[in-house]
């Protein structure tokens, strides 16, 4: 090996040693700083453990509200009776169907024209609402009679007054007395029987009118 080649090899060896030393210094000094910085910038993920049971929405059944429901049975029954007059004045079949049982019976007890209807459709839609106009009709002095209000049946009487006309003719005023009005009737001119339906609501199952001379409820 020439002297010049020998010197060149020594230079390469020295440079290699210096590179190794420098790399070791960089690793020893810079490495911990980089690791520390990484710990600072990388977020720590902490698992969240809960023992609470998931909430379940309560399932509730909607409350069924009976038509013309009052605070007491007496209030409810009186409101049902008054609703019949409102329906008669306005020819509102929806009210009629809400307050009467579908199989309710109706009796005109005037001795000169005794008549019976089976069901509110036959009585109102097919007859009264077609032939007669009513105005200012109201039921007054509704009151329980006989055994009064039972657990699922009730007996009531009342009077009525207002105006009617038939076939578009002249208006005629009428007054059918209650048991306590002036003038009165012995048994109340209107008789009502009510029962509770499948929803536990009071509905009218029988109505008699022009019936102040008929004992009600009939004694056994």
State the pLDDT at residue 9.
55
Spatial separation of the C-alpha atoms in residues 130 and 124, rounded to whole Å: 8
| Residue 128 CB-density burial (10 A; 0-12 exposed, 13-18 middle, 19+ buried) | buried
Going residue by residue through the chain (220 aa), what tens digit of pLDDT does each one get?
A: 555 555 555 554 555 545 544 455 555 555 555 445 544 544 554 555 555 555 555 565 566 799 999 999 999 999 999 999 999 999 999 999 999 999 999 999 999 999 999 999 999 999 999 999 999 999 999 999 999 999 999 999 999 999 999 999 999 999 999 999 999 999 999 999 999 999 999 999 999 999 999 999 987 6
Spatial separation of the C-alpha atoms in residues 59 and 3, rounded to whole Å: 100
Strand-pair partners of 67: none
How far is it between the farthest Cα atoms of the chain?
A: 156
CA angle 126, 102, 212 (to 5 degrees): 75
| Short-list 135, 136, 126, 133, CA closest to 106 | 126
Q: Per the structure block, which two tokens stand in for 43?
A: 């977020």
CA angle 55, 58, 61 (to 5 degrees): 170
Contacts of 161 (CB under 8 A, 6+ apart): 136, 137, 138, 140, 173, 174, 175, 176
Spatial separation of the C-alpha atoms in residues 67 and 86, rounded to whole Å: 14
User: Phi/psi at 52 (nearest 5 deg)?
Assistant: -75, 135
């Amino acid at each position: 090996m020439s002297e010049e080649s020998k010197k060149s090899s020594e230079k390469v060896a020295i440079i290699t040693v210096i590179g190794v030393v420098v790399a070791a210094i960089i690793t020893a000094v810079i490495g911990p700083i980089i690791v520390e910085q990484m710990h600072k910038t990388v977020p720590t993920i902490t698992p969240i453990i809960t023992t609470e049971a998931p909430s379940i929405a309560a399932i509730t059944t909607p409350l069924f509200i009976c038509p013309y429901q009052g605070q007491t049975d007496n209030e409810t029954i009186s409101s049902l009776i008054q609703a019949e007059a409102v329906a008669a004045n306005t020819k509102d079949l929806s009210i009629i169907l809400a307050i009467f049982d579908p199989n309710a019976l109706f009796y005109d007890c005037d001795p000169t024209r005794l008549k019976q209807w089976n069901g509110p459709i036959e009585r109102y839609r097919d007859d009264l609402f077609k032939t007669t106009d009513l105005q200012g009709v109201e039921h007054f002095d509704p009151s329980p009679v006989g055994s009064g209000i039972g657990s699922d049946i009730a007996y009531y009487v009342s009077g009525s007054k207002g105006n009617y006309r038939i076939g578009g003719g002249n208006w005629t005023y009428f007054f059918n007395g209650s048991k306590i009005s002036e003038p009165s009737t012995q048994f109340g001119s209107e008789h009502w029987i009510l029962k509770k339906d499948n929803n536990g609501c009071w509905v009218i199952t029988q109505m008699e009118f022009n019936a102040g001379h008929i004992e009600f409820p009939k004694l056994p």
